[in-house]
Amino acid sequence: MRKSREEAAETRKRIVRAAACKFREKGIGATGLTDLMKAAGLTHGGFYKHFASKDELVAEATAEAVDAAIDEWLTGSPTIAATVGAYLSTGHRDDPASGCPLAAVGSELSRSSKKVREAAAEGFVRLVEFLARKADTVDARRRAVAAAATMIGALTMSRVVTDQGLSAEILREAQRSLIRAWPRRSVTRTRSFRGRPRRNVRRQSEA
């Protein structure tokens, strides 16, 4: 029984990881259950053994995607300048499947259920806290909120426009504007950040 529960929990994690990638790459609405279960190496029929609905999966996948994106793109950045530069990079722009879900599928998240939007909001707060901890100034949170919103918007628009020159300009100018807005001492200060355990999205038993 214990092994069965552990296997079920591992399978659920596999589905969440696959969904986090597929949703960012293709979009939530454009990703069917058959496709995402195939990406997880499973059959469509097994989905409802683990999730009550697609919405439940979207909420968990959003939380997973935010953490994965921070680990992938930001954790190794020692300063605010490096963090902003990593987020607003052409590499991040060109790899939505491993990037920030708030930029990749933000418009879809805004029209989703309350549970999904709560997961997205937690992800935004996690990004804000990451930036604020890097800066460690008196008004760090206020600046971090503005920076996070600017970064998400700039990355989104850099993917929307078809002119590659304009796309790069959006990223470049947003980065310059944000770095100029932070006090110089906080931009170059090196701080480590281990993050905090995210509050788990409420979910059903993994049995």
pLDDT at site 77:
87
Q: What is the mean pLDDT of the chain?
A: 88
Query: Does residue 43 belong to any structural domain of this protein?
Result: no
Tell me the per-residue pLDDT of 130-156, one tens digit each, with 9 for 90 and over.
999 988 788 999 999 999 999 999 999
Res. 45: pLDDT tops 90: no
Tell me the per-residue pLDDT of 187-206, one tens digit each, with 9 for 90 and over.
655 554 444 444 444 433 33
Cα→Cα distances 153→23, 97, 99, Å: 18, 17, 14
pLDDT at site 197:
40
Query: Does residue 75 belong to any structural domain of this protein?
Result: yes
Tokens 């100034």 -> residue: 137
CA angle 188, 190, 196 (to 5 degrees): 125
Q: In angstroms, rounded to a whole number, what is the distance separating the alpha carbons of residues 75 and 45? A: 37
Question: Please, are residues 126 and 195 in contact by the beta-carbon 8 Å criterion?
Answer: yes
Domain that holds residue 72: 53-188
The pTM of this model reads 0.84
One-letter amino acid of 126: R
* 3 pLDDT tier (thresholds 50, 70, 90): low
Structural domain total, the chain: 1
Query: Does residue 39 belong to any structural domain of this protein?
Result: no
Instruction: Summarize the confidence of residues 80-103 as an average pLDDT.
Output: 95
More confident residue, 194 or 85: 85
CA 89 to chain centroid, in Å, comes to 15
With pLDDT > 90 as the criterion, what percentage of the chain qualifies? 71
CATH number at residue 118: 1.10.357.10
Range 170-187 burial, b when 16+ CB lie within 10 A, else e? bbeebbeebbeebeeebb
Tell me the per-residue pLDDT of 19-32, one tens digit each, with 9 for 90 and over.
999 999 999 999 99
pLDDT at site 204:
39
